[in-house]
Amino acid sequence: MAKIQTTQAVRGTQDMFGETEERFAHVVATFERVRRLYGFKGLQLPVIEPTAVFSRSLGEATDVVSKEMYSFEDRGGDSITLRPEFTAGIARAYLTNGWQQFAPMKLSVHGPLFRYERPQKGRYRQFHQIDAEIIGAAEPAADVELLVMADQLLKELGINDGVTLQLNTLGDTPSRDAWRAALVGYFNDHKNALSEDSLARLEKNPLRILDSKDPTDRPVADAAPVIDEYLS
Would residue 61 count as lying in a domain? yes
CATH number at residue 133: 3.30.930.10
Would residue 10 count as lying in a domain? no
H helix intervals, the chain: 19-37, 51-58, 63, 87-96, 140-157, 173-189, 196-204, 218-222
Name all contacts of 137-142 with Cβ < 8 Å and 24+ positions apart: 137/103, 137/104, 142/104
Q: Give the Cα separation of 41 and 36 in Å (integer).
A: 7
Domain shared by 115 and 207, yes or no: no
Would residue 110 count as lying in a domain? yes
pLDDT band, residue 221 (cuts 50/70/90): very high
> What share of the chain in percent tops pLDDT 70?
95
For residue 65, the model assigns a pLDDT of 60
Q: What share of the chain is helix, strand, coil (3-state, %, to 5)?
A: 45, 15, 40
Helix (H, G, I), strand (E, B) or coil at 138: coil
Domain shared by 56 and 123, yes or no: yes
For residue 140, the model assigns a pLDDT of 86
Q: Whole-prediction pTM value?
A: 0.78
pLDDT tens-digit map of 98-153 = 999 999 999 999 999 999 877 677 789 999 999 999 999 988 899 999 999 999 99
For residue 46, the model assigns a pLDDT of 97
Q: What is the mean pLDDT of the chain?
A: 90
For residue 1, the model assigns a pLDDT of 65
pLDDT band, residue 29 (cuts 50/70/90): very high
Domain shared by 133 and 32, yes or no: yes
Range of lowest pLDDT (10-14, 74-78, 168-172) = 168-172
* Average pLDDT of the residues in 187-213: 88
Domain shared by 177 and 77, yes or no: no
Would residue 136 count as lying in a domain? yes
For residue 63, the model assigns a pLDDT of 58
Domain shared by 130 and 190, yes or no: no
Domain shared by 47 and 150, yes or no: yes
Would residue 164 count as lying in a domain? no
Indicate the number of domains in the chain.
2
Domain shared by 26 and 128, yes or no: yes
Would residue 76 count as lying in a domain? yes
Domain shared by 135 and 193, yes or no: no
Q: Which domain holds residue 214?
A: 173-230
Domain shared by 23 and 93, yes or no: yes
pLDDT tens-digit map of 47-93 = 999 999 988 766 555 556 667 889 999 999 999 999 999 999 999 99
For residue 27, the model assigns a pLDDT of 97
Would residue 14 count as lying in a domain? no
Last residue of a domain, one of 157, 191, 221: 157
